[in-house]
Structure 1
Amino acid sequence: MASWHDRFPGSGLRYAVMLHDLVMVWLGWQLLFAARYAMLDNAPDQPLFSLDVLAVVAIQGIAFWKVGLYQGLWRFASVADLINIFKASFIGLLAIVVLFTYRRLHGIPISVLVVYPFALSALLGTPRLLYRAWKDYQSVHSDARARRVLVIGAGQAAEGLIKDLRRSGDYEPVGLVDDSIHLKGAKLHGVPILGKINDLVSVARETSSKLLVIAIPTIDAAGMQRIVGLCERTGLPFRTVPRLTDILEGSSLPGELKEVAIEDLLGRKPILPDWELIRGWLRGRTVLVTGGGGSIGSELCRQCARHGVTRVVVLEISELLMINIQAELRRNFPDLDVQGVLGDCGDPAVIRHALRTFRPDTVFHAAAYKQVPLLEDQLREAVRNNTLATECVASACAEAGVENFVLISTDKAVDPVNALGASKRYAEMICQSLNKRAPSTRFVTVRFGNVLGSVGSVVPFFREQIRKGGPVTVTHPDVSRYFMTIPEACLLILQAAASSSRGAIYMLDMGEPVLIRDLAEQMIRLAGKVPGADIGIVYTGLRAGEKLHESLFYHDENCQPTAHPKVMEAGVREFSPDLVLGNVAALRKAIASYDIEAMQQILTATIPEFKPIEEPGVPSTSAKIVPFPTKEAGRIH
């Protein structure tokens, strides 16, 4: 069992401080009496030690302890400590008066009692302030360049951080704050733990810190939001240590201090997928990823490589994206067979060549156009790339006998009001229709909302506006969206695909929808600016095809829980597979003749719930936020 000294390594020094204070009580009491009777010839004798004097010392010592005078350190003595000293002195005075009332204060001059709390405060406060001034002088002259750092957290990450800070020579750790009760007053490599995280503002001020570092890499989003709020109140710059996953993935280096990203605030508790299921499903397989150089596609390639596939085939239309992802995979996974096919996955010859050459076991279809306002004026390309390319890849997979086909869909396919939503909903219906006609291939659809940091998403757009000094443009004060990090989304895609049944649509738990205006304000604060003062927010009105809110599933999809609490399975809605597949030929004809009106009529006839927004800027009332069901909720009707 750990000793008291092991748990509180600063306890010996604390006892010395307590002894100092008690001596000062005795000395002050004696000096006050001596001063009071100094001019009198018949002054009464004042013994150095008596029961009365010992009672005064004991009473005052208890008052010091109760007020919490020994929770602080002389090194960081401040006005708050002086106030505590005076409070304890005054409480001690009241206790002394009560104790000696039965003697009618016999032998204790009133003048002594009046001056007592002030004299004692001076005797206790002066050594503390002088000690701090001396330590500050030493600190400044020992290394004037060192930046004073206050560390948030006192775990293993903080321990390593303190070593790295001292090794660099550019930083001086001056203290830590941590919510562990048993750590208060202890030291970590000689650095004192000065209070709880809620004390951050006052501790940062008292220690004259110049930088705050969050050293709790396992903290969840809610905890990070709380700490960031406290950091912002200090007005000081703040950084965080990278998570272990960031280091393993190569996005951060050990010991590196990075800015707090919006992903740290919007993410949720770490997902714990069924690793045995995923690795067992992927091990030894060949996977093909269409759009393999994009945000989702490239992360799917990384995750598949990380979890045991033998070969990754990247089908990509962009030369640059193809080069980048192939180079990364070959560098990080030297034993992985990385192949590439440059071309349009909507070209039947390209996809047939890829399937015939590499014979993949699973195809992830991530290639798509996804920008809502842009696609409203580009219906032909939305239908060609999102709907017909999906039909091309899915049909080719069915003909080739590919074991699994996974379509990456979007929440905008639910009650679609725009070209993106309608084209992706049609793609979902194609996959469900083919599933009934191609018994050798298992068709699965995974549906989720916005991913943080993807190309063209709102986060990098806001970041660039903030970098240029603003203003940040938000479409509507009430607009909300679901957000998820790219790695989190891809892990759940693999989880859903590994455990899926035929023809199902899976929805990923995106958490609570986020108000875009709150997102903008938080990103401005993370940049060290004040929303509305340093950088303004301008509301521009909803763009063409935009809803106020999105939903992840239809109300009649009869969602059921799966083995994973973050994944729900939707039932197949009633529709005619013959109509869906039959209209594909009509769509191709309309595409060939660039007949926009015919495309709209086909989409409306095939997807009855498709109701385009007629006037840009007018909020859609066709969709409402539907909460993600819990596993305990069971079936939803």
Structure 2
Amino acid sequence: MGMLSQLVSYFLESPRPVKRFLTLCYDVATLLTCMGFAIWLDNGAAYVWTKSDILVSFFTLVFSIAIFVRLGFYRAILRYIGVRAISVLFVGITLSTSIFSFFNLFIHNSTSLVLAVYYWCFLIISIGGSRLLFKSYMHSLDQTITPVAVFGAGAAGRQLVSALSHGNIYRPVFYLDDDYSIKGSEINGIKVYHPTELNEALAKHSVAQVFLALPSATATQRNNILKKLEPFPLKVKTIAGMEDIVTGKVKIEEVRDIDLEDLLGRESVAPNEELLESCISSKVVMVTGAGGSIGAELCRQIIVLKPKTLILYELSEYALYAIERELSKTIKRMNLNVELVALLGSVQHKGRLTKSMKAFKVQTVYHAAAYKHVPIVEHNIVEGIRNNVFGTLHAAKAAIQAGVQRFVLISTDKAVRPTNIMGASKRVAELVLQALNNKYDSTLFTMVRFGNVLGSSGSVVPLFREQIKSGGPVTVTHPDIIRYFMTIPEAAQLVIQAGAMGKGGDVFVLDMGEPVKIALLAERLIHLLGRTVKSEKYPNGDIEIQYSGLRPGEKLFEELLVGDNVEGTEHPRIMSANEEHLSWDDMKKALDALDSFCEEMRCDDIVQLLHRMPTGYNPQHSVCDLLWQHEEPSNDKVVQFKTLS
């Protein structure tokens, strides 16, 4: 065994031309040996070789090696030899057998079918078998190759297995497929199991990962498959969608971890192209907060709708640089005739906003700039109000002065009966736009309200994934907390369509689907990343879920509607809500008071005023602004609220 290892090591460490020469030498020796054994078996042990036999052997050897070289026997890398290479070997061996029979007939004037069969069988075993044995031996030596299962025995699954088999990271050992007709069959030597046989398959094969090769499956189908895999200790990964594979954006063997969108099972709805284009195509469009999660995705979708000019307005220098660089590449790649303008600025700077909109003759504004992290805003009340309320006010007034046609506010479900400053500030921003819409008719103001988006800054999913990879624990605020979720691309797409439907002062609510229990979401993610949940019932589990308690301003569940007065629209995922609002005179008085309280850092009065306005604000804790508490240490009392007379 030691000698074999040394020979293999020498072979592997040799340069490529030396490996080919050694393989050629082996085939020469094998061809001569196989011809000798075939002649010996066909004629008996007492047979004495003649000059004619030597001639037959010589010509067969020369022509066979020439054919082997032409067929590419010596181009294939032995450790990665696959089905195609084996089929080529079969063709080459069969041609060599035909040549052997031809020269026997030509020189001896006779040949034997038995002689040809002997020779063919010996070659199959010695040339074909040796290569497969070498491949198996190399796989047994390589401890870094991870055995995996592939869910999906269709075209994508077979391509994935083929690609992985030629790599040195993963080794596919069995298929899983829902199709009963192929249950128990083998594809390229790999057995197909039905998901109901997964226990049996795992008992036979040491597999800890399964790859989903289902690029064309619907979200519902993927979610159902994940539910079948969830009870097993398997890390689940998936390949990209068919569109990305076909367009060459990704290779089929590039796998990624399961995303939350795979767990939601939410089907996408085809967009209304007319609504998408009406406020964007050939127009000058501005996106505030263009470097944020929603703002950046809005920009990505707006750019392909071919606006005349897209203005990126962003406070963060790096975020602005990143989104401008990305969009510039998109414009170049798609050969778009779009002017891209990157403006650094704050929405609290009303003069810069007005000059920007006037200078570029902006026609549509998507106002995505906001502070949205609930605990952060709760601890920084004045800045939250300044940015979310007065930033919206300044942007809206700038739009009116610049003659902007449409202004769309990105709102949140946290604006409905808010228990936190962030939600209350967004509800006030909605009231500001409704009041302005009633006073001015030059600009149509529209609000679009939706819940959490996957992958946004502060999203729980990246946090959960990071916690699981580091060994836990996974932190959830409360065992009963639930949230709505939507992907960023879908949210941005619906925002654009909702904005186009607005008639002025509209509050549009996006259909977020079914709410998700965060604790259950954490459990599913733990399972699908190949770990087990540690609990009192399962003390030997891998990852513990710890409950940290609700943070300041956080609710157990979010709502999308203040009341029940809601109507459908021409889009199945967009609803229109009719809600209470203030006149501009009342709104201005409230804003003046709010501005004064912010200037004087009177956080208790800010909270009182937000409560008195028609926001539905109902805080569940005392004021916890960090600076205010530091300046007023006695202000740990619960604020006594007064109703608005």
Specify the code of the residue in structure 1 equivalent to 2:293: S
Do residues 300 (structure 1) and 302 (structure 2) align? no
The alpha-carbon deviation at position 164 of structure 1 amounts to 2.2
Q: Which residue of 2 aligns with 1:243?
A: 241
Distance, in Å, in 2 between the alignment partners of 1:244 and 1:563 is 30
Q: Which residue of 1 aligns with 2:620?
A: 613
The alpha-carbon deviation at position 516 of structure 1 amounts to 1.4
Distance, in Å, in 2 between the alignment partners of 1:236 and 1:418 is 40
Specify the code of the residue in structure 2 equivalent to 1:284: S
Task: Please tell me whether the aligned partners of residues 293 and 316 of structure 1 are also in contact (alpha carbons under 8 angstroms).
Answer: yes
Task: Please tell me whether the aligned partners of residues 175 and 193 of structure 2 are also in contact (alpha carbons under 8 angstroms).
Answer: yes
Partner SS state of residue 476, structure 1 = coil
Q: 1:117-171, CA deviations, whole angstroms, 9 ceiling, x for partnerless residues?
A: xxxxxxxxxxxxxxxxx99988733643465443211334224323422443654
Do residues 318 (structure 1) and 325 (structure 2) align? no
Partner SS state of residue 333, structure 1 = helix
Do residues 476 (structure 1) and 467 (structure 2) align? no
Point out the more displaced range, 323-332 or 449-458: 449-458
State how 1:335-484 maps to structure 2 within 5 Å: 335=336, 336-484=338-486
Q: Which residue of 2 aligns with 1:552?
A: 560
Task: Please tell me whether the aligned partners of residues 261 and 526 of structure 1 are also in contact (alpha carbons under 8 angstroms).
Answer: no
* Structure 1 residues 310 and 154: CA distance shift in structure 2, 3 A: farther
* Structure 1 residues 246 and 147: CA distance shift in structure 2, 3 A: same
* Structure 1 residues 523 and 158: CA distance shift in structure 2, 3 A: same
Distance, in Å, in 2 between the alignment partners of 1:254 and 1:276 is 34
Distance, in Å, in 1 between the alignment partners of 2:244 and 2:516 is 24
State how 1:142-181 maps to structure 2 within 5 Å: 143-144=139-140, 145=142, 147-168=146-167, 170-181=169-180
Point out the more displaced range, 427-436 or 291-300: 427-436
Distance, in Å, in 1 between the alignment partners of 2:214 and 2:544 is 32
Q: 1:242-296, CA deviations, whole angstroms, 9 ceiling, x for partnerless residues?
A: 1246669998555311111223212511231113431354221221111100111
Q: What count of residue pairs does the alignment treat as equivalent? A: 482
* Structure 1 residues 252 and 411: CA distance shift in structure 2, 3 A: farther
Specify the code of the residue in structure 2 equivalent to 1:457: S
Specify the code of the residue in structure 1 equivalent to 2:300: R
* Structure 1 residues 402 and 181: CA distance shift in structure 2, 3 A: same
Q: Which residue of 2 aligns with 1:309?
A: 307
Distance, in Å, in 2 between the alignment partners of 1:279 and 1:206 is 56
Specify the code of the residue in structure 2 equivalent to 1:602: L
Point out the more displaced range, 222-231 or 592-601: 222-231
Q: Which residue of 1 aligns with 2:639?
A: none
Match of 1:494 among 489, 493, 496: 496
Task: Please tell me whether the aligned partners of residues 562 and 579 of structure 2 are also in contact (alpha carbons under 8 angstroms).
Answer: no
Q: Percent identity?
A: 39
* Structure 1 residues 156 and 248: CA distance shift in structure 2, 3 A: closer
Specify the code of the residue in structure 1 equivalent to 2:344: L
Partner SS state of residue 411, structure 2 = strand
Q: Which residue of 2 aligns with 1:288?
A: 286
Q: Which residue of 2 aligns with 1:260?
A: 258
The alpha-carbon deviation at position 500 of structure 1 amounts to 2.8
Task: Please tell me whether the aligned partners of residues 472 and 538 of structure 1 are also in contact (alpha carbons under 8 angstroms).
Answer: yes
Specify the code of the residue in structure 2 equivalent to 1:541: G
* Structure 1 residues 209 and 595: CA distance shift in structure 2, 3 A: closer
Point out the more displaced range, 563-572 or 419-428: 563-572
Task: Please tell me whether the aligned partners of residues 424 and 615 of structure 2 are also in contact (alpha carbons under 8 angstroms).
Answer: no
Task: Please tell me whether the aligned partners of residues 431 and 581 of structure 2 are also in contact (alpha carbons under 8 angstroms).
Answer: no
Distance, in Å, in 2 between the alignment partners of 1:358 and 1:170 is 53
Partner SS state of residue 597, structure 2 = helix
Match of 2:602 among 595, 598, 601: 595
* Structure 1 residues 416 and 209: CA distance shift in structure 2, 3 A: closer
* Structure 1 residues 238 and 605: CA distance shift in structure 2, 3 A: closer
Q: Which residue of 1 aligns with 2:123?
A: none
State how 1:40-79 maps to structure 2 within 5 Å: none
Do residues 140 (structure 1) and 136 (structure 2) align? yes
Partner SS state of residue 282, structure 1 = coil
Task: Please tell me whether the aligned partners of residues 236 and 529 of structure 2 are also in contact (alpha carbons under 8 angstroms).
Answer: no
Q: Which residue of 2 aligns with 1:11?
A: none
Q: Which residue of 2 aligns with 1:78?
A: none
The alpha-carbon deviation at position 241 of structure 1 amounts to 0.4
Match of 1:582 among 583, 589, 592: 589
Specify the code of the residue in structure 1 equivalent to 2:569: T
* Structure 1 residues 574 and 436: CA distance shift in structure 2, 3 A: closer
* Structure 1 residues 464 and 170: CA distance shift in structure 2, 3 A: closer
Partner SS state of residue 338, structure 1 = strand
Q: What is the aligned-residue RMSD (CA, Å)? A: 2.9
Task: Please tell me whether the aligned partners of residues 240 and 255 of structure 2 are also in contact (alpha carbons under 8 angstroms).
Answer: yes
Specify the code of the residue in structure 2 equivalent to 1:155: G
Task: Please tell me whether the aligned partners of residues 542 and 616 of structure 1 are also in contact (alpha carbons under 8 angstroms).
Answer: no
* Structure 1 residues 332 and 585: CA distance shift in structure 2, 3 A: same
Match of 2:196 among 198, 221, 225: 198
Task: Please tell me whether the aligned partners of residues 232 and 527 of structure 2 are also in contact (alpha carbons under 8 angstroms).
Answer: no
> Structure 2-normalised TM-score?
0.69
Q: Which residue of 2 aligns with 1:123?
A: none
Task: Please tell me whether the aligned partners of residues 234 and 527 of structure 2 are also in contact (alpha carbons under 8 angstroms).
Answer: no
Q: 1:299-335, CA deviations, whole angstroms, 9 ceiling, x for partnerless residues?
A: 1100111222232211111111011100011012223
Point out the more displaced range, 467-476 or 251-260: 251-260
* Structure 1 residues 615 and 517: CA distance shift in structure 2, 3 A: farther
Task: Please tell me whether the aligned partners of residues 183 and 193 of structure 1 are also in contact (alpha carbons under 8 angstroms).
Answer: no
The alpha-carbon deviation at position 453 of structure 1 amounts to 1.6
Partner SS state of residue 237, structure 2 = strand
Task: Please tell me whether the aligned partners of residues 368 and 385 of structure 1 are also in contact (alpha carbons under 8 angstroms).
Answer: yes
Partner SS state of residue 504, structure 2 = coil
Task: Please tell me whether the aligned partners of residues 435 and 582 of structure 2 are also in contact (alpha carbons under 8 angstroms).
Answer: no
* Structure 1 residues 211 and 412: CA distance shift in structure 2, 3 A: closer
Task: Please tell me whether the aligned partners of residues 233 and 527 of structure 2 are also in contact (alpha carbons under 8 angstroms).
Answer: no
Do residues 542 (structure 1) and 550 (structure 2) align? yes
* Structure 1 residues 321 and 528: CA distance shift in structure 2, 3 A: same
Distance, in Å, in 2 between the alignment partners of 1:210 and 1:479 is 31
> Structure 1-normalised TM-score?
0.70
Task: Please tell me whether the aligned partners of residues 178 and 193 of structure 1 are also in contact (alpha carbons under 8 angstroms).
Answer: no
Specify the code of the residue in structure 2 equivalent to 1:597: D
Task: Please tell me whether the aligned partners of residues 276 and 493 of structure 2 are also in contact (alpha carbons under 8 angstroms).
Answer: no
Specify the code of the residue in structure 1 equivalent to 2:382: R
The alpha-carbon deviation at position 175 of structure 1 amounts to 3.8
* Structure 1 residues 251 and 321: CA distance shift in structure 2, 3 A: farther
The alpha-carbon deviation at position 219 of structure 1 amounts to 3.0
* Structure 1 residues 383 and 330: CA distance shift in structure 2, 3 A: same
Partner SS state of residue 176, structure 1 = strand
Specify the code of the residue in structure 2 equivalent to 1:424: K
* Structure 1 residues 250 and 554: CA distance shift in structure 2, 3 A: farther
Distance, in Å, in 1 between the alignment partners of 2:251 and 2:442 is 45
Partner SS state of residue 192, structure 2 = strand
The alpha-carbon deviation at position 475 of structure 1 amounts to 1.4
Task: Please tell me whether the aligned partners of residues 545 and 616 of structure 1 are also in contact (alpha carbons under 8 angstroms).
Answer: no
Distance, in Å, in 2 between the alignment partners of 1:315 and 1:251 is 29
